[in-house]
Amino acid sequence: MKISLAWLREYVDVESPLPEFLDRLTMIGLVVEEWKEINGDIILDVETYANRPDTLGHLGMAREVAAMLRSSLKEQTWPLTELPAKTSAFVDVQILDEDLCPRYCGIVVTGVKTGPSPDWLRAKIEAMGLRPINNVVDVTNYVLFATGQPIHAFDLAKIAGPRLAIRRAKKGEAIRTLEGKTVALSTDMLVIADEKRPVAIAGVIGGEESAVTDATQDVFIESATFDPVSVRKTRKALEIQTDACYRFERGADIAFAPQAAIMAASLLTQFGGKAAKEPVDIYPKPRKLKEIVLRGRRISDLLGVDIDDEFVEMTLGDLGFGLTANQHSIWRVQVPSFRVDIEREADLIEEIARFYGYDKIPVVVPPLEVLEAVPSDREKIQKLSQALFHHGFDEVINQSFADPEKEAVFRSGKAPVEIRNPISTKASLLRTTLLGGLLENTAWNRNRGTEGVHIFEIGNIYFRNEDATAEKLHLGLSTTGPLGTPHWKGRPGEANFFHLKGAVEACLESLRYAPFSFKEDGHPFFEEDYSLAVLYKGEKIGRMGQVHSRLLDLYSLGGPVYAAELDLDLLFGKQPRPFEYVPPPKFPSVVRDLSFLVDRDVPFQEIKQALDKMVVPYLEEFSIIDHYAGGRIPRDKKSLSLRFTFRNPKATLLAKDVDKAEQKIIKNLKSAFKIQLREGGESP
């Protein structure tokens, strides 16, 4: 809200220097965001709040300032030159919907010499950032910015009277507005209508046909109160924003309506106008002032400081509240009609706190009591992140939106959630996978000269689940390009399928979600032969693979890129293996390497599972230390070398026991996989 300091001074004396004045305003909650000097006046841009329509005019601001400075408002008088006739002789106002229009006032002013406004009025209109139009229109704007009460001037000659009805629009009615736009009205919209047609949309905007022009002589000034919700719905439906509806939808001061009409009429008499003897004022159900009980005890309970009764009474009194002391430190407080925001005791306590000063409220650090532990998911995410940092993955965070065209190419298998009013058509869905963002980031970085892009994101994906929506916390990983920068000791390796797989394994191991397994999957995200499902306790918790060229093309990315996506909500819902301590072994181990040929199409995982199941005495662990095909190896075979570690936890292991165990392994592998031992592959 723009406030002219000169205009404000018409209501209240402000003598303190500007910086001090602005600081004090800030501390009662009126923040001046900007100020500038224009023609010797200072224009403040004050931040206002949705619940304080009373501050949307100079009078309301002056009330706050007067209370702040402990001074009082200056009286203003609005003399009229009167006609013998009453307003009701010109117009017959009828409210047909009392809910949407609880009060309607108006006054007729005849013989106005319409023309350019005098300098003092022009200056005020310009100070508010508006262009002066003519003295009648400028007077209506003046009243609005002076008092916060929107008023409207009709050209009396253009109203097909005498009946002026405040009613809902009829089906099929339309109006051409002051903005020159014809809008269709619906039956829930309130209009001001003459005998023939709507002449204004109540509280929103006037009609062009009944508008004041330079030829206008007789005007009818409207000053009314309209239902805030109705005004808001109407202006939203019609996409019209005016200074009037901005105030009506926040709530106008119902008691002030007649005064605003008189004020406008008085100003018009300066331009030769003569006001009707009496305004019309239709107020079918006069409202009583709200009353609230205020307890001194509650003030200190809420603020943590004792405030004198005297201060409470003075502050509320200065702000226009009426106080009756009920008992000691308990009051019945009457709320002035312009304070539509004050409804409860807490609202009054805020008023007292504002003027007492938030800075004077003590600073009390409460006892550091722990009520409940931090949930374990946070720790899991931290551990997971540490494992990934360790593997050289950087963390990214992407916007949750997705482009429907790209989403369609992904074929995530999840029905996306659509945003009804998106920022752009390219961000009209919520993502169903983290992969899109990761590929986008990869392309962005590649285009800026970063070749190695190894990234992860932890965030939600969203989808439709029948009629409901669902969101799940996912982990996305992607890796491509060199694993580090060139170094004099050697060139870095390139990201590959097993680099990614190692990172996935590290994630699961770091959280003790083991044993886990992988299964060939064939998901549309990945190339056919490079697609694995990740399983824990037999349930699929994610997938990984080499990203399909169809998706790389979508981001103009050269391959290969490897990616994985895990459902963390699903994973965290499962029980990890408990942590167990094992003492370091006392007796030495014996290591035996076994090299053999096996059919090329036997996956290592099958051999591993067979060995896992096998009961082999003293076998502590085994690992694959070499894998080779081609060269001198027959085409349908591959060569594997496994390293077995044997240990007797209770005694030093004897060679013959190891030999026995090794023979058992060989025998079982031979029968299960027809392995052929390689020369020198068998330990002596």
Site for other proteins in 402-421 (CB under 8 A): 417-421
CA 410 to mean position of chain CA atoms: 28
Stretch that binds other proteins, among 172-180, 448-456, 628-636, 651-659 (CB under 8 A): 448-456
User: Among 173, 471, 569, 593, which residue sits at the site for other proteins (rule: CB under 8 A)?
Assistant: 471
Taking the least distance from each CB to other proteins, the nearer of 110 and 400 is: 400
Taking the least distance from each CB to other proteins, the nearer of 223 and 234 is: 234
Minimum distance from residue 460 beta carbon to other proteins (Å):
6
Place of tokens 């100020």: 35
Using CA atoms, how far apart are residues 223 and 253, in angstroms rounded to an integer?
Answer: 11
Place of tokens 């400075």: 69
How many residues touch other proteins under the rule CB under 8 A: the total is: 92
**Measured torsion, CA atoms of residues 316, 319, 320, 323, in degrees rounded to the nearest 10:** 0
450 scored as a contact of other proteins (CB under 8 A): yes
Taking the least distance from each CB to other proteins, the nearer of 350 and 682 is: 350
Tell me which residues in 287-346 interact with other proteins (CB under 8 A).
301-305, 344-346
142-to-13, 122, 123, 334, 378 alpha-carbon distances in Å:
20, 10, 11, 30, 58
Helices vs strands, H then E, count in the chain = 19, 31
Minimum distance from residue 231 beta carbon to other proteins (Å):
10
404 CB neighbour count, 10 Å cutoff = 14
Tell me which residues in 567-626 interact with other proteins (CB under 8 A).
none
Question: Is 21 within 8 Å of 68 (Cβ atoms)?
Answer: no
DSSP state of 291: E
CA 415 to mean position of chain CA atoms: 24
Minimum distance from residue 418 beta carbon to other proteins (Å):
7
Helix (H) or strand (E) holding 530: strand 526-536
Stretch that binds other proteins, among 172-180, 309-317, 479-487, 534-542 (CB under 8 A): 479-487
Using CA atoms, how far apart are residues 458 and 475, in angstroms rounded to an integer?
Answer: 5
589 CB neighbour count, 10 Å cutoff = 15
DSSP state of 562: E
User: Among 40, 79, 362, 584, which residue sits at the site for other proteins (rule: CB under 8 A)?
Assistant: 362
Q: Please, which residues bridge with residue 461 across strands?
A: 472
Taking the least distance from each CB to other proteins, the nearer of 106 and 437 is: 437
427 scored as a contact of other proteins (CB under 8 A): yes
Taking the least distance from each CB to other proteins, the nearer of 157 and 397 is: 397
444 scored as a contact of other proteins (CB under 8 A): yes
441 scored as a contact of other proteins (CB under 8 A): yes
| Non-local CB neighbours of 628 within 8 Å, separated by 6+ positions | 638, 639, 640
User: Among 81, 88, 334, 385, which residue sits at the site for other proteins (rule: CB under 8 A)?
Assistant: 385
Tell me which residues in 9-48 interact with other proteins (CB under 8 A).
26-29, 31, 33-34
Taking the least distance from each CB to other proteins, the nearer of 199 and 342 is: 342
Using CA atoms, how far apart are residues 185 and 200, in angstroms rounded to an integer?
Answer: 11
Taking the least distance from each CB to other proteins, the nearer of 484 and 617 is: 484
**SS3 assignment, position 509:** helix
Tell me which residues in 267-296 interact with other proteins (CB under 8 A).
none
User: Among 483, 506, 610, 629, which residue sits at the site for other proteins (rule: CB under 8 A)?
Assistant: 483
Tokens of 509: 């191991």
Taking the least distance from each CB to other proteins, the nearer of 308 and 394 is: 394
Tell me which residues in 213-232 interact with other proteins (CB under 8 A).
228-229, 232
User: Among 347, 494, 509, 527, which residue sits at the site for other proteins (rule: CB under 8 A)?
Assistant: 347
Please state the length of the chain: 684
DSSP characters over 171-234: TT-EEEBTTS-EEE--TTSEEEE-SSSEEEETTTEEBSTTB--TT---EEEEEEE--HHHHHHH
Minimum distance from residue 148 beta carbon to other proteins (Å):
14
Where are the extended beta strands (E) located within 74-113?
Answer: 92-95, 103-110
Place of tokens 């006001």: 275
401 scored as a contact of other proteins (CB under 8 A): yes
Taking the least distance from each CB to other proteins, the nearer of 326 and 652 is: 326
655 scored as a contact of other proteins (CB under 8 A): no
Taking the least distance from each CB to other proteins, the nearer of 368 and 615 is: 368
363 scored as a contact of other proteins (CB under 8 A): yes
User: Among 17, 84, 327, 374, which residue sits at the site for other proteins (rule: CB under 8 A)?
Assistant: 374
Taking the least distance from each CB to other proteins, the nearer of 29 and 106 is: 29
